[in-house]
A and B are shown apart, each in its own frame.
Chain A
Amino acid sequence: MSVLNRFGTLIALIVIIAVFAAASPGGFAQIGNLVNITQQMSLLAIVAIGATLVMVLGEFDLSVSAMVSWGGIVAVTLFQAGVGTVPVFAIVLLSCLVIGSGSGVLVARFRVPSFIATLAMGTILGGLTFWLSDGATLFGGMPDGFRDLARGTALGLPVLTWWMIAAGLVVWLVLDRVEYGRRLYAIGGNREAALLAGVPVRRDSILAFALCAAFAGLVGLLLTARLGSAHPTGGGGFLLQAYAAVFLGMTAFKNGEPNVPGTLVGAAIIAVIANGLTILGVPAFLQDVLTGAIIIAAVLLRRAAGRASRE
């Protein structure tokens, strides 16, 4: 019971992989395909890892999709103006840190519900992105060095997979081992108690929003490098899937709180389902239906397991 309780979501991932492997031994279960899945999930996972920081606080950042699109469009615009790769990275990430801090200030300083603050922020950002791109897909002007940041392999794994591993490791370390992460969990667990224990609640919360935005901006850069182009709504699909991954992850490990290993398992579940169903020839709309159903099932199962273990 306690094993199922602790690792239920991880077991679910293994079961899903086993089912697809049995159904499609020659397609799904090939090493090449499994490695490919890690690449397919990587960008989603990085957005979700950033969102995990904000979720630990008990807040939401609904502007992550707009942030991804913004990052891509700003990057291409700058490249076309002749700016080099390093300054482009710096400018994009910095702009996201600033915008994220803005959401953070609204939430932590002015106590605007994060749902509303980040929804508004995302809408503003979407408008700016559209204006910057004139509504068109932007391409060209990117140096090969930039494109290589999201292409090919290194040490046997796709480069994007390495980005995901790096982001995961850093945020896991911060949340689990660094004082800042421990404080974020304390704020999310009981804001008043954290405040009275001397935690700088405002400052820490604002930084979490800023970091979440920066990870979304990073994904904007990587997505653009991968595709060689940027679309003003290119990040559109990330929002729901990223939070689905975090929610799935909350049901794995750690007493129901957001955590990085869980988020990675959640992102993997979403990616494996999409990949497996595609290989089996299931139409895309049905994939969405199944993904949603699996998320609900996972959360309900977890609730039941939690009740059973308390009794």
Chain B
Amino acid sequence: MPTDSPLLAVEALSKRFGGVVALDGVDLTIRLGEVHGLVGENGAGKSTLIKCLSGVHEPNAGTMRLDEAPFSPDGPRDAERLGLRVIHQELNLVPGFSAIENIFVGRRYPKRLGLVDRSAMAQRVRAVAADLAPDLPLDRPIARLTTGQCQLVEILRALISEARLVIMDEPSASLSKGEADRLHGVVRRLRDAGTAVLFVSHRLDEIFALCDRVTVLRNGRTVATDTTSAMTRDDLVHLMSGGMAMPGRHRATRPPGPPVLRVDRLPFGRRRTPLSFAVHKGEVVALYGLIGAGRSRLLRTLWGVGEPTADQVTTDGGPLSKSGPAGRIRQGIAFAPEDRRTQGLVMRHSIAANATLPRLDSFRGRSWLPMPSAKRVGAFIADLRQRLDVRMGRSSDPIATLSGGNQQKLMVGRWTPFPIRLLLLDEPTRGVDVGAKAELHRVMRDLAAGGAGILMASSDLEEVLDIADRILVMADGRIVAELAGAETDGDQVLAALFATERQEPERKTA
């Protein structure tokens, strides 16, 4: 049972990435033998906090103390040595190894006559597993275990290394109800054995069922820490959203035009649930949801690189082109992916090469000659640079030399000089500074005012409330709520999102 002596004490922790403030004064106290919940909407700073604790990031300011002693791990291995172990959402296990073999990866193997002593390995793992997960198949390759069983392997790994604080990052996100219940049982047993657990979850019912206390983060700050028994579900949602509401601040009052995109009973997601919605001319529609809700997959499908669509998706009354992104471009559709480094830009190529790539055939000097004219490319870049306020050197410099915000402006902006009927955006302002964010929002509003329909996936609640005319809340591959942007506040959006969690989540098949 919880005692009062703090195991971990974090005070006023701050972390900046360039101009982006990720943590801005986080306080967190974890007591010996407690399960401590950590909640906050996407981007509130949960992941950054975990990375600071495990030594992946070095905080810019603030203190961390473990057992009253200053705690500043050099990296995950050092953090483990000091008794802190993180179980990530994506498990780091070797698929071809058994549980026993995985548990010893990166650890000193027991030796006999200079050779690895497999029976000693098995013995040590079995001693711990007997108690925690008696029916976990320890000899079977990880690839043949369920996600829930893999979680257990990670937990065993943490136990063998005698961790005193285990951080679990959304451990139940991909578990079935039964598996999640077993996981909760294991967490309670861990706690009873004296290990502290920091439990990060988006599932509020599980926070209430499992955690002794909970800390709420918002915009990189701790907004509350309290015992869960003293809180209600509505309190928690309200703390997370901060009562965010900006009705109509940036919205033009205009009637929606005819639809530019209509999705009509498109079988989508693992369950092939029929999905229906529309995006109208001049409208900004936000897809809001948790990571893994299927937003990116939906956008990719619409862009022609996901599952093929038949005639359930139409644009301006006609079916979407069959020839992938190139066909979409000809239909006046544009797309900016989620991760500019791995999906959006060729980082080692020049600014000009990246900016011209999607519409490469629009820069010809003579229309019959498939060669971009340097003059037209130069004029195009000069125009983008001026209109988007891009801070850059020469257009032949690698795009990697620009700041993230300027890269993002170019990745989105490179479409804008061309006629666009529908713009698909996946996290258009993730990880960019405030100035670039404002610039990108201005570009989106201008495009919408000019008659384009915009479908934007975003995990940034403030952004969604700020510029969306309509908000589609997505969970588990389905649209669970549709809200009018002008009349919605953060509580309503989060309430709609968390209203879905009581259902049985799907099993990950991957």
Q: Which of B244-252, B354-362, B466-474 contacts A (4 or more CB under 8 A)?
A: B354-362
Q: Mark B214-253, 1 if CB is under 8 A from A, else 0.
A: 0000000000000000000000000000000000000000
**B370, A178: Cβ atoms closer than 8 Å:** yes
Most B-side CB within 10 Å, residue of A183, A198, A257: A198
**A182, B305: Cβ atoms closer than 8 Å:** no
Given A179-B370, A194-B357, A198-B326: A186 and B344 interface contact (C-beta under 8 Å): no
- B346 interfacial contact with A, CB 8 Å: yes
Contacts of B347 in A (CB 8 A): 189-190
**A195, B344: Cβ atoms closer than 8 Å:** no
- B325 interfacial contact with A, CB 8 Å: yes
Of A177, A190, A195, A257, which one neighbours B345 at CB under 8 angstroms? A190
Most B-side CB within 10 Å, residue of A193, A195, A200: A193
Give the distance in Å from the alpha carbon of A194 to the alpha carbon of B343 in the complex.
8
Given A197-B357, A198-B358: A189 and B370 interface contact (C-beta under 8 Å): no
Contacts of A194 in B (CB 8 A): 346, 357
Contacts of B357 in A (CB 8 A): 182-183, 186, 193-194, 197, 199
Contacts of A185 in B (CB 8 A): 346, 349, 353
Contacts of B324 in A (CB 8 A): 198, 200
Q: Which residue on B lies nearest to A257, using beta carbons?
A: B348
Contacts of A186 in B (CB 8 A): 346, 349, 353, 357
- A3 interfacial contact with B, CB 8 Å: no
**B325, A182: Cβ atoms closer than 8 Å:** no
**A198, B346: Cβ atoms closer than 8 Å:** no
Interface residues on A, range: 20 to 34
Min CB gap B327→A, angstroms: 8
Contacts of A177 in B (CB 8 A): 371-372
Q: Which residue on B lies nearest to A200, using beta carbons?
A: B326
Contacts of B345 in A (CB 8 A): 190, 193
- B342 interfacial contact with A, CB 8 Å: yes
**B346, A190: Cβ atoms closer than 8 Å:** yes
Contacts of B371 in A (CB 8 A): 177-179
Scan residues 148-194 of chain A and give those whose CB is less than 8 A from a CB of chain B: 177-180, 182-183, 185-186, 189-190, 192-194
- B288 interfacial contact with A, CB 8 Å: no
Most A-side CB within 10 Å, residue of B328, B329, B348: B348
Give the distance in Å from the alpha carbon of A179 to the alpha carbon of B266 in the complex.
36
Give the distance in Å from the alpha carbon of A219 to the alpha carbon of B384 in the complex.
46
Scan residues 73-106 of chain B and give those whose CB is less than 8 A from a CB of chain A: none
Contacts of A257 in B (CB 8 A): 348
Given A178-B371, A185-B349, A255-B398: A193 and B360 interface contact (C-beta under 8 Å): no
Most B-side CB within 10 Å, residue of A177, A179, A194: A179
**B353, A182: Cβ atoms closer than 8 Å:** yes
Scan residues 228-265 of chain A and give those whose CB is less than 8 A from a CB of chain B: 255-257
How many A-B residue contacts, CB cutoff 8 Å?
A: 70
- A196 interfacial contact with B, CB 8 Å: yes
Contacts of B360 in A (CB 8 A): 179, 182-183
User: What total of chain B residues lie within 8 Å of the partner, measured CB to CB?
Assistant: 27
Min CB gap B13→A, angstroms: 32
Of B303, B348, B361, B370, which one neighbours A196 at CB under 8 angstroms? B303
Most B-side CB within 10 Å, residue of A178, A190, A192, A257: A190
Of B303, B346, B370, which one neighbours A193 at CB under 8 angstroms? B346
Q: Which residue on B lies nearest to A182, using beta carbons?
A: B360
Contacts of B358 in A (CB 8 A): 197-198
Give the distance in Å from the alpha carbon of A163 to the alpha carbon of B358 in the complex.
35
**B325, A195: Cβ atoms closer than 8 Å:** yes
**A190, B342: Cβ atoms closer than 8 Å:** yes
Q: Which residue on A lies nearest to B330, using beta carbons?
A: A198
**B325, A180: Cβ atoms closer than 8 Å:** no
Min CB gap A248→B, angstroms: 20
Scan residues 304-351 of chain B and give those whose CB is less than 8 A from a CB of chain A: 305, 324-326, 328-329, 335, 337, 342-349
Min CB gap B362→A, angstroms: 10
**B335, A196: Cβ atoms closer than 8 Å:** yes
Scan residues 365-394 of chain B and give those whose CB is less than 8 A from a CB of chain A: 370-372
Scan residues 181-226 of chain A and give those whose CB is less than 8 A from a CB of chain B: 182-183, 185-186, 189-190, 192-200
Give the distance in Å from the alpha carbon of A93 to the alpha carbon of B463 in the complex.
57
Of B303, B337, B343, B372, which one neighbours A182 at CB under 8 angstroms? B372
**B344, A193: Cβ atoms closer than 8 Å:** yes
B residues sitting closer than 8 Å to A (CB atoms) are 303, 305, 324-326, 328-329, 335, 337, 342-349, 353, 356-358, 360-361, 370-372, 398
Contacts A190-B347, A196-B305, A255-B398 given; 14 further ones with Cβ under 8 A?
A179-B360, A179-B361, A179-B371, A180-B370, A182-B356, A183-B357, A185-B346, A186-B357, A193-B345, A196-B335, A197-B357, A198-B324, A200-B326, A256-B348
| Closest 9 A/B residue pairs (Cβ) | A189-B346, A198-B325, A197-B358, A190-B346, A198-B326, A179-B370, A197-B357, A198-B329, A179-B360
**Between-chain CB contacts (< 8 Å), 13 pairs:** A177-B371, A177-B372, A178-B370, A179-B370, A182-B353, A185-B346, A193-B343, A193-B344, A194-B357, A196-B303, A198-B326, A198-B328, A257-B348
